[in-house]
Chains A and B, each alone.
Chain A
Amino acid sequence: MAAILDVQNLTKKYGDFEAVKEISFAVEEGEVFGLLGPNGAGKTTTISMLTGVLPPTSGTALIGGYDIRTQMEQAKQLNGLVPQDLALYPTLSARANLDFFGRIYGLRGRALRERVEDVLRIVSLTERADQPIETFSGGMKRRVNIAAGLVHQPKLLFLDEPTVGVDPQSRNHIFESVQRLNRERGMSIIYTSHYMEEVELLCSRAAIIDEGRIIAMDTIKNLIGMLGGGVIYLGLPRVDADLLAQIAALPAVKEALAAEPALPAEGEPAVPRADGAVVKIVAEQNQQALVNVIGWLNAQDIALTSLEILEPNLESVFLHLTGKKLRE
């Protein structure tokens, strides 16, 4: 399939601060692609550059073959943006809001009316269409927010954290709408979120972004597969290279690493810590690895001071890759 979006070394700097650092990725037509990362990772800045809200400092992107640095006006016709904020006019009705956003994309007359009715149906708000937005619940406002990004039938829809502050019922409704748009209308979607379960549910591929860089990008299955069968954190009185090698050699253990403190460089003595050390074990299968490791530690008379088990998911992948939690 052809790429609807091809991002090449896109960078955004504010003075000396690099908000987005030479990121590159591509999105196929009809794909739902996730951008996963904590707040401040650079997701919204990336979307802002791709939608023409911000000019890139360097690099570029092709949207439907149009270069965003030289053909942004054409690229904008293909884009639909659903910003993180409720970018609506609260005193106007849902219909008046959608009518306005349709008009600024060049829709008129009957075509406009039909499109407004269509998107109202998609977000199930036909009944409340003529009431002011300010009378709506948070979830309903989110749905109108999405409808406003759809009214001109974009080929590529950017959904920037569309479920922030939404009740579970409206969240499910948004998920269904995204899946239906992709499945029934073949719309390509870029979905940003710091909720890993949303990206796991909706996206076929995702890029994990942190501090302006893409640190991993693959299918969701492969990303989670990076952790094998899961991750185990063990608190021990001390750690050294020999201990790590012996743990890594146990059955069902894929890898053993010193999480805290880092191992000293070769030839340098280990610095003991009063609160001991943390060993990170990447397992092929969490439960089996745990049984084997604890048995071995008992046999070696090494006391276990703490234990944390992470099931394989994008949250643990992010923690594995960055040492930080997604919602920090």
Chain B
Amino acid sequence: MRALHIARKDLLILFKDRGTLVQLLLLPLIFIVVFSGALSAVSAGNESGDGQDTRIPLAVVDLDGSALAQRFVADLDAAGGVRVERRAQDEALALLAERKLPRVLTIPAGFGADLDADRPVTLHLVNHPDADLEQTEAVRLVIEGVAQDLSLEYQILASLEQMAEMQANAPEASQIFSGERMIAQAQSQFERSRTQPLIAVAERVPQIAEREADEFPDAVQLAVPAFTVLFVFLTAQTTARSIYEEKRIGSFRRLLAAPLSKAALLAGKMLPNFVTALIQTAVIFAFGLVGLRLMGLQPLSLGESPGGVILVAAATALCSSGLGILIAALARTETQIGGLSSLILWGAGILGGSFVPLFILERFLGSLPRVVPHYWANRAFENLLIRGLGLSSVTAELGALLVFTALFFAVGLWRFSFD
């Protein structure tokens, strides 16, 4: 209970310190806006090609290579709305898997021959799971439009050729192919091309493995939790500085002389960090949900498990509080606090995926990022916010954060100098 009074006092002091408040609350928002804005711009740039051509990019793999296939590709490019990029099949699929291409259209081998023989053919449109749905729909409509035109042309021409052949072989049939009959035949072919087109489009979203799915997460979904984790852990130095300041002004002696256990005293110093970290998380997430939308950026999505997000935020805040006690125990001077905080908090932030996505870090650092709590917090948020998984997917991450908390608090208590 008395720990609560220490926490209340520390929060009163904190809220009078505008500089610290700016650092804790405003700075993360600036980071998020800058990073999200920049990454979104890059992402948008990727979607619209070179930035001047606003047509939707569409990679086309031509396995046929016939004149008809080439004509189809040319028609597609000329249809407006779609910018065709010819690719080899392997290259296109690799780029698709890496989300460097949002979608790939494959023209099968035998496309031209089948059409010439009036046999139906199927084009394959493969979309990345993260590809923009509206753009995919637009691309599909363009492909179907061009395919339908070509189908119609081929079916009508084929019908007319058939009639001409019949007339040539049986002159008496001229009475049969009257003007009315020919119009009726054309209408019938037109109807058939609509209901049973010669060229069909099959669309699919490949089953991309989880590892691949998280490779190109949305900028906001990545930046908001990553900077939340970074700045929540940065509040740890507030605890260390607060304890140092109490020792410097002598009030720590006064607290030690009060009927208050040492554990309650440290808990009282941890609690403001925990509360501040929760407020910080709430402010950053609220900004991600509302502020980014107001700024015209894509807002944050809380995924399928908002409860899980709250639990991860609480575990991260708790871990940060434990880390604050550890830093206070290890650093004896203000300079040491600054140095140690920079080394531990920024270093662990970089190593733990707050600046560079985990999947990139793990490619060249292997499992090294797992030694810092930031990694587990970032991984938990990625599971919930980027992969859209549920609470059960972050059990290990929550456990790891609690283990780190216990470790930091135990070592901090062991090394803490109450003298």
Contact = CB atoms under 8 A, between A and B. Distances in A.
B363 interface: no
A52 B262 CA distance: 11
A48 B6 contact: no
A293 interface: no
A248 B255 CA distance: 55
B13 A89 contact: yes
B189 to A, nearest CB: 86
Interface of B: 2, 5-6, 8-9, 12-13, 16-17, 249-251, 253-260, 418-419
Contact of B259 (A48, A90, A96, A106): A106
A87 to B, nearest CB: 4
26 contacts: A51-B257, A52-B256, A53-B253, A53-B257, A53-B419, A73-B259, A76-B257, A79-B257, A81-B254, A85-B249, A85-B253, A87-B250, A88-B249, A89-B9, A91-B13, A92-B9, A92-B13, A92-B16, A100-B5, A103-B5, A104-B6, A104-B255, A105-B258, A105-B259, A106-B2, A148-B254
A83 B12 CA distance: 23
A101 B256 contact: no
Given A100-B5, A101-B254, A106-B259, 20 more contacts: A51-B256, A53-B253, A53-B419, A54-B419, A76-B257, A76-B258, A83-B253, A85-B250, A88-B251, A89-B9, A89-B13, A89-B249, A91-B16, A96-B12, A100-B9, A103-B5, A104-B6, A105-B259, A106-B2, A149-B254
B13 A87 contact: no
A85 B418 CA distance: 16
A149 B254 CA distance: 9
Query: What are the nearest 8 A-B pairs in CB distance?
Result: A85-B250, A87-B250, A51-B257, A87-B251, A81-B257, A76-B259, A103-B5, A53-B256
A148 B9 CA distance: 15
A236 interface: no
B260 A104 contact: yes
A86 interface: yes
A87 B418 CA distance: 16
B12 A92 contact: yes
Nearest to A105: B258
A153 interface: no
Contact of A86 (B2, B249, B255): B249
The B contact surface, by secondary structure, is: helix
Given A103-B5, A104-B5, A104-B6, A87 B253 contact: yes
Most chain-A CB neighbours within 10 Å: which of B5, B259, B419?
B259
A219 interface: no
Contacts of A87: 249-251, 253-254
Interface string A16-50: 00000000000000000000000000000000100
A22 to B, nearest CB: 20
Contacts, number: 71
Interface in A110-158: 148-149
A182 interface: no
Interface string A221-262: 000000000000000000000000000000000000000000
A91 B259 contact: no
A77 interface: yes
Contacts of A101: 254, 258
Contacts of A86: 249-250
Contacts of A81: 253-254, 257
A105 B2 CA distance: 8
A53 to B, nearest CB: 5
Interface in A65-93: 73, 76-77, 79, 81, 83-92
Contacts of A105: 258-259
